[in-house]
Structure 1
């Protein structure tokens, strides 16, 4: 006689929005077929399942091998917002792995994603900028972004983007790319300095910090140093030396260090009374703050007025020579040599 029994085990965890994954080596080929389906629900479910699988680099390798990236490139043009969001999410997860980054570069995903820069869906834009950020962490990724002609678009999106989270991702990508001379020239031609100047005044600590970091990269070429002086950015950097966030202080001191290489930059910083706040930063708990402050002070000590002022503070620099950080020790030693130099 049959009996009704209740199992002691929990029911299986079944997600109705996710496609059933085939067994073994058939899993990814089946999902790739479903990505190309004409049925919207099938495409959405396949993307949901693929998001979970792509956390494993072995699955990423297999997905690239069987041609999933071509299917995903096609889905970037899908009319359904959810499909575009999940497609960019899959690509973002893939970009967190070395094998994924290599695959994205080989299949020219950078250009395919650029058509979504103005997508109305915030999550879609956020995911695509996460991809760019991850790609900018490797030299080949930076070169591909620059050679794709994306720098002007990223600079203009920096001004037009309303979401702070997306702005921060753009700043991260730009900070990495602008260290390339070609990228810096393009960005300077597209008014990146005045845009960064506006972001230095943001209420968000992270945006101020990342804007100052990007400004450091912009200041490496001579034209960048000149524009920072011409657009009157140096007084803002001096003001940020007193910021409540130490990361902002570190990046502002770093940008000031590069800007003060030129004579005009030195005297603009001296006129803005940069020396006193920089001296205060030598007691910071962050080694990067102390290091950048020392280097900025060294630049200012190259001007006779700066050297004269700093001679009374040599004992402070002597203390920095005993810092636990070797780079800070060396920077303090160089600063003392410049301050005590006599013609």
Structure 2
């Protein structure tokens, strides 16, 4: 007579929200077919399963090879919110791998994602901006975003978005503007960044100052930082409680003070004393950027005169720091301060 027995083994791991993954080399082709299904639940389950697989760069390579990116591009226009969310999530995960970023550039994913910049679902927008951030970390990826003409849109979204999405846009712009800041400067990025430098969020202030550094690389950017009155705000941020804000503010001030107008605007804002205070910071990045900014100010006769009595601070920094870059920066600062016509 049969008896009812309770198995000692755990039940199989079955997730009803994910598609069953086929064995071996058939796994991705089957999922790609399901991505193109007319049945909503089939597309959703395939995307859920694909999210797990894309953490492995080998699967990313295979997915690109069999045409999954084209299927995902089509799903970005799906009317179902969950499909768009998971499609952008898959692309976001793929963008964390070099092979995925290369695939984005080859298959036109950058403009395809841009259609969701105004998507009503905030998760979709956050995912696409994460993907852009990962892509921009690659110089060719940053150039790809610039070449796609998206910089004006990203600058405009900078003042429309909030929180995490705003932070992601700042990260993307910081990378892209190092490649080419022309379009951003024509889209009033400096006034927008000026507003964000006054944000209550430490992270936003730090990222805004970092982006301002990239903006200040070309001469036009340096001039706009001076013209829009950003330099006094940067001087104020030198006294910020957050090290990253101090470092980035000092870095942006260094670029802005390359021009004569920038130098004298910084001197009028009394930048020397807070910069000298930063030379005692325990954070090397802060000390390094402050040293470079003071070197720029020392190129002006008034700045050099005010700093001549402080040369001992730079000598101490040069002798005590273990970082080669900071030691070299201190050495250059001493030469500039002690220079005589």
- For the criterion TM > 0.5, the same-fold answer is yes
Instruction: Work out the number of aligned pairs and report it.
Output: 340
**Structure 2 stretches of 5 or more lacking a match?**
none
- Alpha-carbon distance between aligned partners in 2 of 1:227 and 1:280, rounded to the nearest angstrom: 27
- Matched residue, 2:323: 325
CA shift at 1:120, angstroms? 1.1
Mapping of 1:12-23 within 5 angstroms? 12-23=12-23
Question: Residue 179 of structure 1 aligns to a residue in which SS?
Answer: helix
- Alpha-carbon distance between aligned partners in 2 of 1:221 and 1:102, rounded to the nearest angstrom: 28
- Matched residue, 1:220: 217
CA shift at 1:11, angstroms? 1.5
- Alpha-carbon distance between aligned partners in 2 of 1:328 and 1:23, rounded to the nearest angstrom: 56
Mapping of 1:92-171 within 5 angstroms? 92-161=92-161, 163-171=162-170
Mapping of 1:195-274 within 5 angstroms? 195-274=192-271
CA shift at 1:13, angstroms? 2.1
Relative to the length of structure 1, the TM-score reads: 0.98
- Matched residue, 1:194: 191
Structure 1 stretches of 4+ with a deviation exceeding 2 A read none
- Matched residue, 2:289: 292
- Alpha-carbon distance between aligned partners in 2 of 1:112 and 1:66, rounded to the nearest angstrom: 19
- Alpha-carbon distance between aligned partners in 2 of 1:58 and 1:306, rounded to the nearest angstrom: 57
Residue-by-residue CA offset, 1:160-215 (whole Å, 9 max, x unaligned)? 11x210111111110011112xx311100000000000110111111100100000
- Alpha-carbon distance between aligned partners in 2 of 1:236 and 1:159, rounded to the nearest angstrom: 19
- Alpha-carbon distance between aligned partners in 2 of 1:334 and 1:129, rounded to the nearest angstrom: 40
- Matched residue, 2:303: 306
CA shift at 1:142, angstroms? 1.4
CA shift at 1:3, angstroms? 1.5
CA shift at 1:24, angstroms? 1.3
| Structure 1, 249-258 or 11-20: larger mean CA deviation | 11-20
CA shift at 1:105, angstroms? 1.1
**Structure 1 stretches of 5 or more lacking a match?**
none
Q: Over the residues paired in the alignment, what is the CA RMSD in angstroms? A: 0.8
- Alpha-carbon distance between aligned partners in 2 of 1:224 and 1:99, rounded to the nearest angstrom: 34
CA shift at 1:26, angstroms? 1.2
Residue-by-residue CA offset, 1:99-158 (whole Å, 9 max, x unaligned)? 111111110100000010011111111111111111111121112111110111111111
